[in-house]
Amino acid sequence: MHKELQWTWAETGPQERIRELSDTLSIPPVIASILINRGIETADDAKFYFRAGLENLHDPFLMADMHKAADRIVEAVKAGQAIRIYGDYDVDGATSTSLLILFFRQLGISADFIIPNRIRDGYGVSIEGIEKARDDGIDLLITVDCGITANDEVDRGREIGLDIIVCDHHQPAEHLPDAIAVLDPKRPDCPYPFKELAGVGVAFKLAQAVAMRLGHDMDQLYSLLDLVAIGSAADIVPLVDENRILVRTGLEILNSRPNTGLKALLETTRLAGKSLSTGQVIFVLAPRINAVGRMGDASHAVNMFITEDDREALQIAHHLEEENKQRRNIDEETFREACEMIEAHFDPENDSVFVLSSEGWHPGVIGIVASRLVERYYRPTVMISTDDGVGKGSARSVSGFDIYDALENCSDLMRAFGGHKYAAGLSISSEDIGELRERLEAYAKKQLTPEMRMRKLKIEADIRFGEIDGKFLRLIKMMEPYGPQNMRPVFSSKGVRVVGTPGVVGRNHLRLRLFQDGKVFDSIGFNLGDLLHRVQSNPDNLDIAYTIEENEWQGRVTTQLRLKDIH
């Protein structure tokens, strides 16, 4: 079911500035325009954007409390104290945990870790986890990718004599935990110049600070950046500034000398030997790492990352693959049920929001399914899994509609909720779900404008195939890694012609060859099989929107257009 997209074009900067940057850098004006739209306006900006490396990383000691954190860890290392890492069950949490375990191993310290069970324990630091650490003889607990709102838990740690360092990247509450140190660039009082690190990025800055204090070989630390790249890309943080440096360098390591666990994961996903980008991380590797956290025990992922045994790594990687298959099956079944529910009990064209609930849904997949429903129907969606009178829910939204504000407007109905503009989680009594549905619908009817109901496709520039030459392709490649705030540019070309016979392959993917200006490009439109009739009825005059990418098949790399829409 193809949803019509509204094409919008990016604003073009002043022609004089475009021409000046184009001449200075000897690049096509269209590339200069894209760079200017991304805030890259001078030759120095462009040099940093294209060439910034590890020497351009910010000083970790600019982060609030970093001196305290580094001092306490150095003390623990020198005294041989017991250290435990307290992580989270998603990719960012698993890579953060693994990075610190491996870093301490480089220092000759055998730290251990704990990751809560998503279904049994829920998110974040718990009183039970704090008390267990003390009972196990732990001297220093370091939270990663969690802990910034764990005030009560940290207080309990103080009461029982457990030192805690909080290492997080989420939005803090009004009061910070009373820990030995609280590392979070989003702290209002934190002068750190870049605020958008992932949890694994903050963990890396902590390791960097400790390494500097101890005179540790920085190249050894940098060898762990493959984990930073995976955690950062999977957490969908903006790929600008320091994130761009960390992810780009980490991908180079992932492509050349991945650690034992990642090497095994690449083998089981048939990506070994291929040139990996953020796309493969997000759509192939991350779901498998996430699957064990969603379906059961995320510690498997950490054990895979930190093992040095090839056989053990491969066994765990196969386990991740099986968990992901199970997750996909449950995901598909839940998605089918949710679609049937929407078609039977809602008006997909006129309703403003969907609130769906069922007792049989696995709480580990409802966030994924909510995102898929938004993709299909383009409405804010709340999926709630109920058990014994209590519902746990995940909410996802559309561009421009703040689902966190919408839930806050109904906060009296919920036991707890949290999140941000486009994704949130909640807990609610089953008996209140009906009223939540009514109140969210009433709220969304007022706030959700006709503009927000229409899916938009932002196009950077209109070009002709004749402009796509070797230099153009090299520059597009140099703009990687792509991600939020540095998305792969979408182009449009008008009046292109179909060559040969188009067809539908796989799960509703449109495959065809397109011609213009004497050039032919293979093209693929994922989930665009419904547009085959459009291509067949007017094969000599199509307007297309697309990105340009490399396609690697049997060792051969070719340029391919990935179609976004066809008019």
* CB 234 within 8 Å of CB 286: yes
Please give the backbone phi and psi of residue 194, each rounded to the nearest 5 degrees, phi first. Answer: -125, 120
Is-cis flag, bond preceding 185, omega within 30? Answer: no
The model's pTM: 0.90
In DSSP notation, 188-243 reads TT---S-----HHHHHHHHHHHHHHHHT--HHHHHTTHHHHHHHHHHTT---SHHH
* CB 302 within 8 Å of CB 97: yes
Each of the 567 residues of the chain gets a pLDDT tens digit; together they read 566 789 999 988 789 999 999 999 999 999 999 999 999 999 999 999 999 999 999 999 999 999 999 999 999 999 999 999 999 988 999 999 999 999 999 999 999 999 987 666 666 799 999 999 999 999 999 999 999 989 999 999 999 999 999 999 988 888 999 999 999 999 999 999 999 999 999 999 999 999 999 999 999 999 999 999 999 999 889 999 999 999 999 999 999 999 999 999 999 999 998 889 999 999 999 999 988 877 778 899 999 999 999 999 999 999 999 989 998 899 999 999 999 999 999 998 889 999 999 998 998 889 889 999 998 999 999 999 999 899 999 999 998 899 989 999 999 999 888 777 888 888 999 999 999 999 999 999 999 888 888 888 999 999 999 999 999 999 999 999 999 999 999 999 999 999 999 999 998 999 999 999 999 999 999 989 999 988 988 888 999 999 999 887 777 788 999 999 999
Hey, how many other C-beta atoms are within 10 angstroms of the C-beta on 119?
17
Hey, how many other C-beta atoms are within 10 angstroms of the C-beta on 507?
8
Q: What is the dihedral of CA 558, 561, 562, 566, to 10 degrees?
A: -160
Q: Enumerate residues 6+ apart whose C-beta is below 8 A from 154.
A: 125, 130, 147, 164, 166, 177, 178, 179
**CA separation for the pair 243, 338 (Å, rounded):** 36
DSSP 498: E
* CB 489 within 8 Å of CB 472: no
**CA separation for the pair 198, 233 (Å, rounded):** 9
**CA separation for the pair 540, 385 (Å, rounded):** 50
Is beta strand 163-167 parallel, antiparallel or unpaired with respect to 381-387?
unpaired
Domains, the chain, ordered by start: 6-11+457-566 (2.40.50.460), 55-256 (3.90.1640.30), 346-453 (3.10.310.30)
> Encoding tokens for residue 386?
């109920």
Report, in this order, helix, strand and coil percent for the chain, each rounded to 5. Answer: 45, 20, 35
Give the H/E segment covering residue 545: strand 542-553
Phi-psi region of 215 (alpha: psi -120 to 50; beta: other; left: phi over 0): left
**CA separation for the pair 559, 407 (Å, rounded):** 45
What are the CA-CA distances from residue 332 to residues 90, 260, 325 (Å)?
A: 21, 32, 10
Give the H/E segment covering residue 165: strand 163-167
Q: Enumerate residues 6+ apart whose C-beta is below 8 A from 529.
A: 504, 508, 509, 510
**CA separation for the pair 142, 85 (Å, rounded):** 5
Is beta strand 456-459 parallel, antiparallel or unpaired with respect to 461-462?
unpaired
